[in-house]
Structure 1
Amino acid sequence: MLEAPIPPDEALRLDTLRRLSLLDTEAEERFDRLTRMARRVFDVPIALVSLVDEERQWFKSCIGLEVSETARDISFCGHAIMGNETFIVPDASLDPRFADNPLVVGGPCIRFYAGQPLQIANGCKLGTLCIIDTVPRVLSDEDVGLLKDLAAMVVRELEAVQLATIDELTRISNRRGFVMLAEKSLSLASRLQMPLALLYLDLNGFKGINDRWGHAEGDRALIVFATLLKQAFRGADVFARMGGDEFAVLLPNVVEAQAQLAYERFNTILAEHNRQSSCGYALACSTGIVSYDGRGCVSLAELLTRADELMYQRKRDSKG
């Protein structure tokens, strides 16, 4: 059996996938109707919307299969996301890459597989729309075109999810996206008794930037600030523009002292940007930092309120 290689954009691909907050969610009719359509159009027993996670492929929609996920190292979809075209295996039992695959020699006894990569706007292939049969098959060019059309409909649904959770200007999570991701992180922290910290940041002097240099420059300041946040914090951290000139960062498995160090690192990056910038103003922020030790019960709303209050207190103190 040949395991699929790892895509060159794997880090970005996994980050994009997880920010959709679709993994381990309930079935949704908008995806199920497309897999039902694929099964009916191609007359196959199994049709899936498969999302390829770090160590598994998880099925957002699963028609004709009893399981919700399988290991990535035995997945056909892991191979499919390596290319741009439809990945077709006419008879897996005769294909040296798959002949001894557990999904071939055992249930569901795959013989035929065709998977169309689900490539979204940033170029990442998050998974496939795939059809599976227990007997060998051949797809015509017309069939391939139909599968691509159905996959394009799945991609539109994925991008609709992404647009609903991404801030249009800065291209990081918006408040809705932050809440979805942060709630999961908080639930995990509580279950594992793992600490986390929350930073709430307000961009100082934003109104003055808009008033003096115009709204286009104000937008540029927000974009730069968000970009510097992404540079300063870890890929596992959840950061978002909460609205206006306010941002939040959730740091899993971090105590408050570590969060303070992370904030100081961000300030160093901010200062270096200001030193090199010729825009006429300096970017600075006021921040509230709160933490949760993983014990007891606390809501995300409580953490946000406490961090917000601390941030405004520090903003008032800085004004003397």
Structure 2
Amino acid sequence: MKSPTPSFEQQRLEALHLLEVLDTPPEVALDRITRLVAQVLNVPIALISLVDQDRQWFKSRVGLEAVELPRELAFCAHAILEATELVVPDAIEDARFCNSQLVTGDPHVRFYAGVPIRTSQGFAVGTLCAIDARPRILTPDELSILHDLAEIVSREMQLRENLMLTRIQKNRSEAMFQASEAGYRSMFELASVGIALVAPDGGWISVNAALCDVLGYAPDELKHLTFQDITHPDDLDSDLEMLHQLSVGQINSYQMEKRYLRKNGSSVWVNLSVTKKLSEAGELEYFISIIQNIQARKELEQEARHDALTGLHNRRALDSLLPIAQARADRSRLQLALMFIDLDGFKVINDSYGHDAGDDLLRAVSTRLQSCIRRTDSLVRLAGDEFIVILEGITPGVEEAREVAQKLLVAIAQPLTIKGDVIRCNASIGFSMYEPGSGKAPDELMREADRWMYKAKHLGKGQVMP
């Protein structure tokens, strides 16, 4: 399989090398993207691949040990030629790839879908791709998701490109802000990402139009606020800690994902990159913040981990929530309880009152369950009429878990009026306990709670076991 060469290859390679991203360590934000591709598209391999002169190098990878491959073997070398995407349903049936070592040998590629990652100048420097060892066809929705995620990666690369261009400009003129005010202001205002100069005390010195669009404030309004005033309370401590390390010279810059509070009261997720400007005497003058709106990406992540009907965590989220909760239990030496809740007679309610009423009931039950547990606990809609509750930090023994379970039963059993009909519903609850340091696997906890739940049903329903 001969690797094709795009037009303007030299300029494309220059754009890639400008990013200074090749052979750099993994980045959390990009690793989340590849994990999301693997989960949402249900593929074993997902890659952020950058196509260099003689190789393709993987900035992020899921399901593949190799960190790079020869360009002549790269499906991605073909994908960067495409205006939108390259989809290969079955590589064995494609003359371009059927004899490739990647098809005839490990990892036995059969399916490939790649969307180009582009710089602000439109050069395709790589791809976000999904790979499977079996043939398949992407649905339009799946392809749309891959495009959306590739756009997020492109914007991450464009942010890096802007930072590199800013650094080059700074090196040429010692500091960007010693250049002509008109030239600086033009670049500052026309940037596609938010840029701000921030005083050491957190006050906004100067902000560009893109940042005002993200935050919903006018420039004059922001200048009467500090970044602390509009940072989400849950994110403020970590931001201040990183800013302190930057101020005292422990680090030269930092990057984090955080939420700002917009003028209309909503929150917006951003990727924040911060550096500092020192005076000739080495004293801190101000911080330079680059702020990119990543709300769309966060919403995709939210959608992938939450149940559409109730808004609760879903089964995919449970796969990470439970091991993390067990790790916290090991550190705190406090017990954890996992409750398996199954509604009694839900099928009869669905058949008698209709699926809309059933959906209303599930939403109401979700709200009632949520009101009975703490913010530190987790509530999951497993499937249909099944729910999981993870209780953390409970006292030794089973009494506290049983008391909470009884409280949940009482809440579920309260009559509910839906479209004039009074509906009553009960549930059966089984629970299992995790002893800190026991090493009990998540699947074992689930099976044990499931067994107790079925014993509760056989006792007459509306019961808690053990």
Give the TM interval when normalised to the shorter protein: 0.5 to 0.7
Q: Which has the higher contact order (CA 8 A, sep 6+)?
A: 1
Q: 1:4-47 deviations in whole A, cap 9, x for unaligned?
A: xxxxxxxxxxxxxxxxxxxx9685274765444213225346xx
Count how many residue pairs are aligned between Structure 1 and Structure 2: 244
Question: 1: CA distance between counterparts of 2:202 and 2:269?
Answer: 10
| Structure 1: segments with no counterpart, 5+ residues | 1-23, 46-73, 89-94
1:274 corresponds, among 402, 407, 415, to: 415
Shift of 1:128: 2.9
Q: Residues 181 and 202 from structure 1, CA distance in 2 versus in 1: closer, same or farther, beyond 3 angstroms?
A: same
Once the two structures are superposed, the pairs formed by residues 12-161 of structure 1 within 5 Å of their partners are 28=31, 30=33, 34-42=155-163, 43-44=165-166, 84-85=215-216, 103-108=246-251, 117=259, 125=267, 127-135=269-277, 150-151=292-293, 154-161=294-301
| Residue matched to 2:327 | 187
Secondary structure, counterpart of 1:298 in structure 2: coil
| Residue matched to 1:234 | 374
- The 8 Å contact of residues 198 and 248 in structure 1, kept in 2 or not, is answered as yes
- Residue 200 (structure 1) aligned with residue 340 (structure 2): yes
Structure with the largest fraction of strand: 2
Instruction: Provide the TM-score with structure 2 as the length reference.
Output: 0.45
Instruction: Provide the TM-score with structure 1 as the length reference.
Output: 0.63
Q: 1:124-165 deviations in whole A, cap 9, x for unaligned?
A: 6365322434337999xxxx9xx77x41xx222111111111
| Residue matched to 1:14 | none
Q: Residues 108 and 193 from structure 1, CA distance in 2 versus in 1: closer, same or farther, beyond 3 angstroms?
A: closer
| Residue matched to 1:167 | 307
Shift of 1:261: 1.0
- The 8 Å contact of residues 39 and 131 in structure 1, kept in 2 or not, is answered as no
- The 8 Å contact of residues 339 and 449 in structure 2, kept in 1 or not, is answered as yes
Shift of 1:266: 2.1
Question: 1: CA distance between counterparts of 2:266 and 2:287?
Answer: 28
Secondary structure, counterpart of 2:422 in structure 1: coil
Secondary structure, counterpart of 1:228 in structure 2: helix
Q: Residues 39 and 236 from structure 1, CA distance in 2 versus in 1: closer, same or farther, beyond 3 angstroms?
A: same
Letter in 1 for 2:379: F
| Residue matched to 1:307 | 449
Secondary structure, counterpart of 1:289 in structure 2: strand
Question: 2: CA distance between counterparts of 1:293 and 1:211?
Answer: 41
Question: 2: CA distance between counterparts of 1:86 and 1:35?
Answer: 24
Identity over aligned residues, as a percent?
24
Shift of 1:249: 0.3
* Bigger Cα Rg: 2
Q: Residues 84 and 224 from structure 1, CA distance in 2 versus in 1: closer, same or farther, beyond 3 angstroms?
A: same
- The 8 Å contact of residues 225 and 283 in structure 1, kept in 2 or not, is answered as no
Please give the root-mean-square deviation of Cα atoms over the aligned residues, in Å: 4.2
Q: Residues 303 and 101 from structure 1, CA distance in 2 versus in 1: closer, same or farther, beyond 3 angstroms?
A: closer
Letter in 2 for 1:155: Q
